[in-house]
Structure 1
């Protein structure tokens, strides 16, 4: 079973406050640290440590982009 994290806990995994670089999408939290596109904790105008579910609609890619990342937790509602 995956651990649950609050939005506040997710916000700390922004690549600045801690080494982890995580983003949430559709209730799951992904570790995107290995992606060169997230290396500094941001990806274009998006920042790590946030829920990107609503923002993906504007992206030039689909949600299959998350398939290559490990799921590290569940975002608490």
Structure 2
């Protein structure tokens, strides 16, 4: 699986490029086909980011990511 930096992920926000990606627990998911992520925004969340810390406030579990294709891994900074 290809590795992407946070800067590369940030470009996949539905504004700068047509892809709409989000990261969770080090995995990047393509949410482009989701009507809930239209224009790169989902309620108060923006695409192109790592949503790992924000999921605890969501009304759903991490199982929501099972619906989406994994496109890569988020590069870990050491």
Q: Same fold (TM over 0.5)?
A: yes
Q: Distance in 1 between matches of 2:15 and 2:68?
A: 20
- Residue correspondence of structure 1 range 1-77 to structure 2 within 5 A: 2-77=1-76
Q: Find the residue that maps to 1:40 and give its secondary structure.
A: helix
Gaps of 5+ in 2: none
CA RMSD of aligned residues (A): 0.3
Gaps of 5+ in 1: none
Q: Distance in 2 between matches of 1:44 and 1:68?
A: 18
Count of matched residue pairs: 76
After TM superposition, give the deviation of residue 14 of structure 1 in Å: 0.1
Q: Find the residue that maps to 1:29 and give its secondary structure.
A: strand
Q: Distance in 1 between matches of 2:47 and 2:74?
A: 14
The TM-score with structure 1 as length reference comes to: 0.98
Q: Distance in 1 between matches of 2:39 and 2:61?
A: 22
